[in-house]
């Protein structure tokens, strides 16, 4: 347990530009050191509890491996196996876990549940995805863009498809990092109120339209995500409505010649993206997946108050 307000990592827009820039710098440095075989034991003897109320491949493995590389340990918990599934409150769960572990990472659909856990936890809580936000993903995305193309400031970014948690965190990032984000989503899946407010808050940095072709034009980065997020129930209807939003070679051809393609994964090949694009030379999806590891190590160090450099 710690004293003072714990350093939670819940939403991109809880932070200033310089705080996030500091974490990205730390991530880059940890990545370079790892490639040199250097694994600084910055979180030696620290224990991270991970609660997964939903499926995960990348988040689960990258946090686990990241903690081990930093000398720490992890406990993997599933919501179903915890008393949470028998109506113990998030608040009581937070109070108890705070007595045992140094930090908590949670993936849970309800953002209000995440907030409740954080409010009652005396150790840092990290958002491993809610229906509202996926901030760890966006840190990896920013890192990946900048590794390939340099500063994201002023870059033209196109989001094509559904309006969801990953988009929400991108909207927050666009405002802070000053890149021009154009969002193309169909009327049927127009952003919910909460996201709309953040889009308005982002002002000139974020534009919301319906036409995927217009969004793709002259883009430096095109981003797709699944059409059916965890918690969505109308899969067949979504696949029908979102069909014109597939990222394929025709759409990529409208972007700048050296435009990158990103997708947080898991991908549904043949739906939101074709094999040609995701396996093509512009795709950086596996660098993006790798960078989850490095970005989250930096987030863990920040949360636990450990300087990387």
* Span near ligand CP by CB under 6 A; candidates 56-64, 201-209, 210-218, 235-243: 56-64
Judged by CB under 6 A, the chain residues 257 through 276 that form the site for ligand NVA are 264
Sole binder of ligand CP in the list 58, 111, 131, 238 (CB under 6 A): 58
Neighbours of 63 (CB within 10 A): 27
Is 225 catalytic? The answer is: yes
Judged by CB under 6 A, the chain residues 150 through 189 that form the site for ligand NVA are 164-166
* Shortest distance (Å) from residue 122 CB to ligand CP: 26
User: Cis bond leading into 44, ω under 30°?
Assistant: no
Residues 6+ apart with CB under 8 A from 222: 158, 160, 216, 247, 251, 252, 255, 259, 260, 261, 262
* Span near ligand CP by CB under 6 A; candidates 185-193, 234-242, 259-267, 298-306: 259-267
Q: Is 82 in the site for ligand NVA (CB under 6 A)?
A: no
Residue 58, annotated as binding a ligand: yes
Is 292 catalytic? The answer is: yes
Q: Is 283 in the site for ligand NVA (CB under 6 A)?
A: no
Is 7 catalytic? The answer is: no
Q: Which is nearer to ligand NVA, 121 or 164 (CB)?
A: 164
57 binds, among ligand NVA, ligand CP, none (CB under 5 to 8 A by kind): ligand CP
Are 28 and 20 spatial neighbours (Cβ–Cβ below 8 Å)? no
Residue closest to ligand NVA (Cβ): 229
Tell me the two tokens of residue 131: 């229906």
Name the residue among 60, 55, 66, 121 with its Cα closest to residue 89. Answer: 121
Is 60 catalytic? The answer is: no
Residues 6+ apart with CB under 8 A from 122: 1, 2, 6, 98
Can you tell me whether residue 285 is helix, strand or coil? Answer: helix
* Helix intervals (H) in the chain: 17-35, 58-69, 90-97, 111-120, 135-149, 165-177, 193-202, 212-216, 235-241, 249-252, 275-278, 285-303
Q: List the binding residues for L-ornithine.
A: 165, 225, 229-230
Active site residues: 107, 134, 137, 225, 264, 292
| Known binding residues | 56-59, 83, 107, 134-137, 165, 225, 229-230, 264-265, 292
Residues forming the site for ligand NVA (CB under 6 A): 129, 164-166, 225-226, 229-230, 264
């Amino acid at each position: 347990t710690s004293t003072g307000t714990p350093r939670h990592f819940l939403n991109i827009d809880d932070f200033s530009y310089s705080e996030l820039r500091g974490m990205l710098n730390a991530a880059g440095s940890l990545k370079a050191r790892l490639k040199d075989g250097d694994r600084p034991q910055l979180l030696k003897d620290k224990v991270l509890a991970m609660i997964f109320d939903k499926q995960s491949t990348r988040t689960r493995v990258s946090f686990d491996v990241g903690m081990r590389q930093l000398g720490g340990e992890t406990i993997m918990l599933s919501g179903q196996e915890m008393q949470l599934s028998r109506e113990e409150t998030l608040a009581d769960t937070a109070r108890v876990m705070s007595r045992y572990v140094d930090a908590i990472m949670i993936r849970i659909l309800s953002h209000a549940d995440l907030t409740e856990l954080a409010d009652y936890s005396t150790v840092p809580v990290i958002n491993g995805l809610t229906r509202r936000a996926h901030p760890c993903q966006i840190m990896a995305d920013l890192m990946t863009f900048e590794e390939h193309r340099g500063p994201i400031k002023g870059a033209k970014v196109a989001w094509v498809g559904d309006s969801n948690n990953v988009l929400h965190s991108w909207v927050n990032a666009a405002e802070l990092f000053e890149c021009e984000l154009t969002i193309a989503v169909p009327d049927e899946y127009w952003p919910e109120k909460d996201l709309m407010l953040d889009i308005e808050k982002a002002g000139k940095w974020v534009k919301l339209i319906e036409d995927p072709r217009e969004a793709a034009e002259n883009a430096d980065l095109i981003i797709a995500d699944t059409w059916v997020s965890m918690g969505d129930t109308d899969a067949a209807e979504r696949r029908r409505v979102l069909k014109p939003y597939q990222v394929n070679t025709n759409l990529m051809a409208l972007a700048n010649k050296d435009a990158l393609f990103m997708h947080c994964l898991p991908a549904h090949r043949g739906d939101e993206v074709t094999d040609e694009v995701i396996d093509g030379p512009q795709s950086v999806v596996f660098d993006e997946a790798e960078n989850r590891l490095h970005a989250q190590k930096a987030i863990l160090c920040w949360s636990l108050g450990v300087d990387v450099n």
